[in-house]
């Protein structure tokens, strides 16, 4: 159900943007799914399409373009960068599930693979965002 809540937020933000930009219809929305969020792509896309049907005529014919953004983490101590795929190898099932709901939990469970420091930044691939909105 996490995917449905995110889909609602995306549609709400898109409609707010359409109002500000004086768009009568929204034709396309491009969405970036951060890998760290671990969203079920099919469920998320289904939720977007179903919710768009009930959101009024602005979204009646909207097309969704969903792109996965690979995650990149960087150690603040040694500046080593690594991917979420590398981090997943060290996580248990419960830890990975916790990160799915709250990506910031990664700071509790991950360490730099080079120097073992717990201090790092998520520099890419976190959360869900709208990359672009096209309308008329």
Taking only the tens place, the pLDDT of each residue in 73-103 is: 999 999 999 998 888 888 888 887 787 777 7
| Shared domain check, 64 and 93 | no
pTM of the model: 0.78
How many whole angstroms separate alpha carbon 69 and alpha carbon 134?
Answer: 20
| Shared domain check, 91 and 64 | no
63 DSSP 8-state letter = E
Contact 24, 58 (CB under 8 A): yes
Range of the domain at 12: 2-70+125-135
| Shared domain check, 33 and 18 | yes
Contact 14, 128 (CB under 8 A): no
| Shared domain check, 63 and 81 | no
| Shared domain check, 97 and 55 | no
- Residue 51, domain CATH: 3.30.2320.50
- Report the 10 Å Cβ neighbour count for 34: 20
| Shared domain check, 110 and 77 | yes
| Shared domain check, 77 and 30 | no
The backbone region for 81, taken as left when phi is positive above 0, alpha when psi lies in -120 to 50, beta otherwise, is beta
104 DSSP 8-state letter = G
Q: Please count the structural domains in the chain.
A: 2
| Shared domain check, 81 and 34 | no
Q: pLDDT tens digits for 102-136?
A: 778 888 888 999 999 999 999 999 889 999 999 99
């Amino acid at each position: 159900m996490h995917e449905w809540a995110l889909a609602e937020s995306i549609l709400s933000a898109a409609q707010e943007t359409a109002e500000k930009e004086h768009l009568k219809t929204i034709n396309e929305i491009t969405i970036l799914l951060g890998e760290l969020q671990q969203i079920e792509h099919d469920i998320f896309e289904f939720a977007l399409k179903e919710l768009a049907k009930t959101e009024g005529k602005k979204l009646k014919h909207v097309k969704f373009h969903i792109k996965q953004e690979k995650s990149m983490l960087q150690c603040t101590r040694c500046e080593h960068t690594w991917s979420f795929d590398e981090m997943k190898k060290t996580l248990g099932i419960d830890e990975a599930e916790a990160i799915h709901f709250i990506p910031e939990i990664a700071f509790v469970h991950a360490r730099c693979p080079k120097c073992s420091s717990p201090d790092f930044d998520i520099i890419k691939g976190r959360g869900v965002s709208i990359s672009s909105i096209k309308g008329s």
